[in-house]
Structure 1
């Protein structure tokens, strides 16, 4: 479950102008990996040609489906036989626990690995007018241990439009023993085109996993 933790930040007009400026700059940026962890014992592209169950966790059903379809398509570029799972809603706060609950389904599907991704807004930018920003939330994978995910709330002031930057935290788990092989977080620039953000996030994450010699 992605818990919504309200955290409003009142900004003076100068600070608001600065945040709006940063939002405009963010629109020119590219989707990137913010953090990544790889199992030190990993070697030899263990998932090359393997079957992978892809499961995404998001509040919105459409985000779940789009996320799974995009990631499965990207993994197919690297020879993985990726199949989309049923998706996960905001029922389980702990990402590690939510992923572990999907391992039986992955095993039943004959998958060697489970790709689990939690997708949520990472930051929002309001233009024109004052801006209120928020963060993706806590928790970590692999060496850092698991934790609950918190997502702050952004509120536009007045009649302003909001561009949201989505983030995705992904982990690849070995189905046989539940071990996390790799994990990473990617963030897209703020945009009103959510479908394109999800496509870019899937591409960047899949390429990062391939460069980490998983495929």
Structure 2
């Protein structure tokens, strides 16, 4: 075969490879565009249907105590809103943040430390050398201190968030005190840290009162 014929053969093979490569690229592009259009169609259908609605459980309303049963700075432990989630109710003897009752001195907070979930305990003013003038919730696991007089805010230690408050109602006609809800942050860690969507904590749990 002459050199001219060989050159023509090589050129023809090269041209075929270029054509084949162009075809492959074209097919890849078409496949990609098809996927994009398909996804856009699905997205449009989802948008047309609207957002998926999640059922948000209602907070139970339960009687916790009667004011006649309370002694100043002697806490009561009760479970709310689930049967296995403890809280502390205490009459502090002075008007405080979130306080209810005739003297606005009765508060309740989750007993679950917002660090690693240990159980906090109540320490009356004068029982702590670190904060002698404050009523405290104290976690013995890692020395977390919360201010019982001011919304269970963090005073010291590793916790990043205050204790979630139990929302209380006081019936002045009977003296009964009811738990009717809870405030943020997330109580049991089922939602994102610091979330205010505390209703997530009711999902999958057994509510007090048989709910």
TM range (shorter): under 0.3
Determine which structure has the larger strand proportion and give its number.
1
**Rg larger in 1 or in 2?**
2
TM-score (structure 2 length as normaliser): 0.26
Query: More relative contact order in 1 or in 2 (CA 8 Å, sep 6+)?
Result: 1
